[in-house]
Amino acid sequence: MASYIMAMTINPNAKKTHPDLSHQVNKSLDAFSESSIKITNLYATLGRYDYLAVFDADDQKLAFKVASEINARGILETETWPVIPYQEYTALIG
């Protein structure tokens, strides 16, 4: 399994058109539970992004699929990064 971080922001138009925004965000995040992705952590943030999800996926195609499904729902915009633990990274670079 590969690990990823997905940074998410609420679409500015969604803030205007969806009175029950938290419910709509939760419905968008259902894309994770509708797949075999394992969410390690889900955070709300006080910064550039509204939410961060740390998750494991069987392969990159599944990560692409779920990110695309979340974006297609129109509530959240995502940016997804593949990650490895720092110790593995330092072993790679020597």
For residue 39, the enclosing domain spans: 2-93
Q: Which residues of the chain have pLDDT under 70?
A: none
Helices assigned H by DSSP within 1-94: 12-17, 21-33, 60-72, 86-93
pLDDT of residue 19: 74
Question: How many domains, in total, are found in the chain?
Answer: 1
Both tokens of 73, joined, read: 């729902």
Side-chain-facing half-sphere of 52: CA atoms under 13 Å: 11
**Under 8 Å between Cβ of 9 and 76:** yes
Instruction: Write down the pTM of the prediction.
Output: 0.88
Report how far residue 79's alpha carbon sits from residue 94's, in angstroms, rounded to the nearest whole number: 29
CATH number of the domain enclosing 44: 3.30.70.1060
pLDDT of residue 30: 86
pLDDT of residue 8: 96
- Mean pLDDT of all residues belonging to the chain: 92
